[in-house]
Amino acid sequence: MKPSFYVTQSSSLIDTSLELRVTNLLPCEVVTIKAEMCDNLGTNWESFAEFMSDSEGQINLATAQPESGTYFTPDVTGLFWSMSPVSNDKPKNRTPLKPLETKLILMREQEVLSVTSVIRDVVSPKVDRFPIREQGLVGTFFCHSNSGPLPTIIVLGGSEGGLRESNAALLASHGFNTLALAYFGVEDLPKELVNIPLDYIEKAIGWLNDNPNADITKLGVFGTSKGGELALLSASVFPIIKAVVGYVPSGVVYPGIGQSALGVSSWQFKGESLPFACGDVPKEVTRELKQAIHTEEPISWRETYRYWAEGEKQAEIAVEDIQGPILLISGGDDQLWPADLLSEKVITRLREHSHPYYYEHINFPKAGHSFVTPGFPTTQSVVSPFGNGMKLLLGGNPKDNSQAQFDAWQRVKVFFNKYLTTRSD
């Protein structure tokens, strides 16, 4: 029999586990497995690993130790997260939410022994997608049109701005309706993250209230980074929100981000800017930051944000006013801002106010700031470009970031299933 791949997936979705084995090799035979993928932004990626088959001529990627390659420890997902973009390759057309096909190629030296493809959906075909451009809103509504009113979750991106659909699409694939909501940096929305009105979130809630597919009594919000700050803030102001998830969030309101952000809050409500944290930063921290910019090294903002928040009680979000459970996720090596410490501020405040609902902060000590949809390559998750030739240090490492993304996502699904689908109030 010819060597072949054996692939099983618990479902076609990208966030589910898989089994990957190679069979029918010679005992103790050395082979190479290559992986190739074109992502939904048109970028080509590839990875590889060299293995020695066991005494029965098999390789189980969950337990097999790579002899060499783009990752170095047994990991069934290693070929997926360790991919790097192909250099000098022109991006092709963008195909948002299209199923991702990863080609696996089994080789003995230069001889191709077997080829297979692993196809993973980023959204279930049962989910309907509706672009929203009403009442000044810019978003995408993912819903189950024929299922009646369902628990609904507003999904907010971070300081990158624009409309990000991947988390909302995948979450909707697990039985929720979701609204991916942009709040700056696209179309007619504010150009910069400066004085963004919470009234905009209120408008989105009103839109959902008028939508027959949304069960407004089971409304959640899920935000990442600055979107996590906005999620906590929105839930503290609008009691109709009954469950909150924050990926690498802040429980403190910070200054806006942009050319016009100097001395200005990120948020406002009813025409009034919200108090923001801007404590004194030691000169040595500022000096190190300027040095990194000057030498074109990746920039860590962690210490700057940490000092900004120290003693700034007036800028803390009144999370005790949130009318439901709260789940916070952070990385212990977050170099963009100290989401681990900022999340603990939230927990401390909830504890001091005897918050009557469930709350938890889950920290992944070796992960950084990059918490996104699981299943994608993470080799670019440690450092991120930030215009003008600058690079932001996000922290963590590709392997631990990948594992944290997968584990965190499972926690998010369990949380919303428990606290939105079973609520009776």
Query: How high does pLDDT run on average in the chain?
Result: 94
**Cross-strand bridge partners of residue 391:** 385
- In this structure, the strands spanning 214-224 and 150-156 are parallel
The full DSSP string for 37-73 is: EE-TTS-EEEEEEEEE--TTS-EETTTPPPSEES--S
Q: Are 298 and 369 in contact (CB under 8 A)?
A: no
Q: Kindly state the average pLDDT of the residues 96-110.
A: 93
Q: Which amino acid is at 323?
A: Q
User: Tens of pLDDT along 354-394?
Assistant: 999 999 999 999 999 999 999 999 999 999 887 667 889 99
Surface-to-core class of residue 100, CB atoms within 10 Å of its CB (0-12 exposed, 13-18 middle, 19+ buried): buried
Instruction: Give CA 419 to chain center in angstroms.
Output: 21
**Residue 146: CB atoms within 10 Å:** 8
Surface-to-core class of residue 320, CB atoms within 10 Å of its CB (0-12 exposed, 13-18 middle, 19+ buried): middle
Q: Are 214 and 148 in contact (CB under 8 A)?
A: no
pLDDT at residue 425 is higher than 50 = no
Surface-to-core class of residue 419, CB atoms within 10 Å of its CB (0-12 exposed, 13-18 middle, 19+ buried): buried
- In this structure, the strands spanning 139-143 and 128-132 are antiparallel
User: Tens of pLDDT along 22-64?
Assistant: 999 999 999 999 999 998 888 899 999 999 999 999 999 999 9
What are the backbone angles phi and psi of residue 345, rounded to the nearest 5°? -60, -40
